[in-house]
């Protein structure tokens, strides 16, 4: 009996403190619930933002692919125009000049000389138009295929820049079965990679190889020149390197992978892998 009343006294003494603790606990639980809810809401918002950013990234990617395709189409058009219209007009003028030279009678040496000089100018213009048209979009790429177009480009490029280029292409027939877009991508990568070699590498030799490896076209362009810090160049915010970015974008556009490696004392290698698919010809 004595113990019971003692218990009651202890309980009544503890009661206010217990109530306070309970209230505090309730408050904290409430706060925690509110924080949980806020966290859940912010996570949801974050997820939505992430989804939106992925969607926009995808849209941007589609847009840049469309731009690349439109640019190629435009180049094809200008190239044909240059080749078929301007080049033929210049050739026509040249033929007439040649005829005029024959018909010029005696004592007109001065006139003949002037005509000859004009002919040389016309010939130079015809050559420039051909080169320009070829650089824009080689008709060979559509008419004869990737390998002849590359051979012709590399021959002219080597002559113009003095760069020695070694080219190896295995299974050429399978390469020519690629879609026109894929062939164009490979051609543009070679163009940019070789241009970079002459612009930046100070190399004496460039090697280009194309082969088929585990169901994919593998292309490598390497040089023995000055190396560079790939990561630093690609992550530099102030400088926009369109060349390397453009190569990567084109390759990814056709479902391929792009890599670039530069080793001090060895040089730089650009690697491209494009899977062969049923959509490719044959």
Ligand X SMILES: Nc1ncnc2c1ncn2[C@@H]1O[C@H](COP(=O)(O)OP(=O)(O)OP(=O)(O)O)[C@@H](O)[C@H]1O
Using CB under 6 A as the criterion, which residues of the chain lie in contact with ligand X when the complex forms? 196-197, 199-201, 223, 225-226, 228, 233, 241-244, 268
Q: Of ligand X, Mg ion, none, which one sits near residue 148, judging by CB under 5 to 8 A according to partner kind?
A: none
Q: Rounded to the nearest whole angstrom, what is the least distance from the CB of residue 28 to ligand X in the complex? A: 57
Q: Of ligand X, Mg ion, none, which one sits near residue 225, judging by CB under 5 to 8 A according to partner kind?
A: ligand X
DSSP-based three-state secondary structure for 145: coil
Q: Which residues of 164-175 are buried (b: 16+ CB within 10 A; e: fewer)?
A: ebebeeeeeeeb
- Compute φ and ψ for 273, nearest 5 degrees: -130, 120
Give 129 or 197: the residue with its C-beta nearer to ligand X.
Answer: 197
Q: Rounded to the nearest whole angstrom, what is the least distance from the CB of residue 244 to Mg ion in the complex? A: 7
Q: Name, in order, each residue with C-beta under 8 angstroms of 97's C-beta and a sequence gap of 6 or more.
A: 115, 118, 119, 122
Give 4 or 232: the residue with its C-beta nearer to ligand X.
Answer: 232
Q: Rounded to the nearest whole angstrom, what is the least distance from the CB of residue 209 to Mg ion in the complex? A: 21
Give 225 or 256: the residue with its C-beta nearer to ligand X.
Answer: 225
Q: Do you know the residue count of the chain?
A: 282
Q: Of ligand X, Mg ion, none, which one sits near residue 228, judging by CB under 5 to 8 A according to partner kind?
A: ligand X
Give 94 or 196: the residue with its C-beta nearer to ligand X.
Answer: 196
Q: Rounded to the nearest whole angstrom, what is the least distance from the CB of residue 89 to Mg ion in the complex? A: 34
Q: Of Mg ion, ligand X, none, which one sits near residue 167, judging by CB under 5 to 8 A according to partner kind?
A: none
* Residue 75: closest CA among 142, 154, 141, 138: 138
CB-nearest residue to ligand X: 243
Report the 10 Å Cβ neighbour count for 42. 10
* Residue 251: closest CA among 198, 194, 187, 208: 187
Give 135 or 142: the residue with its C-beta nearer to Mg ion.
Answer: 135
Q: Of ligand X, Mg ion, none, which one sits near residue 201, judging by CB under 5 to 8 A according to partner kind?
A: ligand X
* Residue 112: closest CA among 99, 124, 122, 95: 99
Q: Rounded to the nearest whole angstrom, what is the least distance from the CB of residue 79 to ligand X in the complex? A: 20
Structure tokens at 122: 């016309």
Q: Of Mg ion, ligand X, none, which one sits near residue 268, judging by CB under 5 to 8 A according to partner kind?
A: ligand X
Q: Name, in order, each residue with C-beta under 8 angstroms of 13's C-beta and a sequence gap of 6 or more.
A: none
What stretches of the chain adopt beta strand conformation (E)? Answer: 164-169, 205-213, 216-223, 257-263, 267-275
Structure tokens at 267: 């040089």
Give 132 or 228: the residue with its C-beta nearer to ligand X.
Answer: 228
Contact positions vs Mg ion (CB under 5 A) = 196, 243
* Residue 223: closest CA among 210, 199, 207: 207
Give 4 or 238: the residue with its C-beta nearer to Mg ion.
Answer: 238
Q: Rounded to the nearest whole angstrom, what is the least distance from the CB of residue 260 to ligand X in the complex? A: 7
């Amino acid at each position: 009996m004595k113990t019971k009343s003692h218990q009651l006294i202890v309980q009544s003494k503890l009661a206010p403190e217990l109530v306070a603790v309970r209230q505090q606990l309730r408050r904290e639980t409430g706060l925690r619930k509110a924080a949980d809810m806020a966290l859940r809401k912010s996570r949801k918002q974050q997820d939505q933002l992430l989804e939106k950013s992925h969607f926009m990234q995808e849209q941007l990617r589609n847009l840049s692919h469309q731009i690349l395709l439109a640019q190629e189409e435009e180049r094809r058009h200008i190239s044909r125009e240059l080749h078929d219209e301007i080049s033929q007009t210049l050739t026509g003028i040249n033929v007439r000049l040649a005829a005029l030279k024959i018909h010029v009678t005696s004592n007109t040496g001065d006139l003949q000389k002037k005509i000859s000089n004009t002919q040389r100018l016309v010939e130079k213009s015809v050559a420039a138009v051909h080169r320009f048209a070829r650089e824009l979009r080689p008709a060979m790429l559509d008419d004869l295929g990737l390998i002849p177009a590359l051979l012709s480009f590399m021959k002219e490029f080597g002559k113009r820049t003095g760069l020695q280029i070694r080219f190896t292409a295995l299974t050429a027939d399978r390469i020519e079965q690629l879609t026109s877009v894929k062939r164009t991508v490979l051609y543009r990568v070679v163009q940019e990679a070789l241009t970079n070699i002459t612009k930046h590498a100070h190399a004496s030799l460039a090697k280009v190889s194309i082969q088929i490896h585990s169901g994919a076209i593998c292309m490598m362009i390497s040089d023995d020149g000055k190396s560079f810090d790939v990561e630093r160049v690609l992550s530099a915010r102030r400088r926009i390197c369109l060349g390397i970015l453009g190569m990567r974008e084109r390759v990814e556009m056709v479902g391929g992978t792009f890599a670039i490696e530069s080793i001090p004392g060895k040089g730089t290698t650009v690697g491209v892998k494009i899977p062969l698919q049923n959509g490719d010809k044959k």
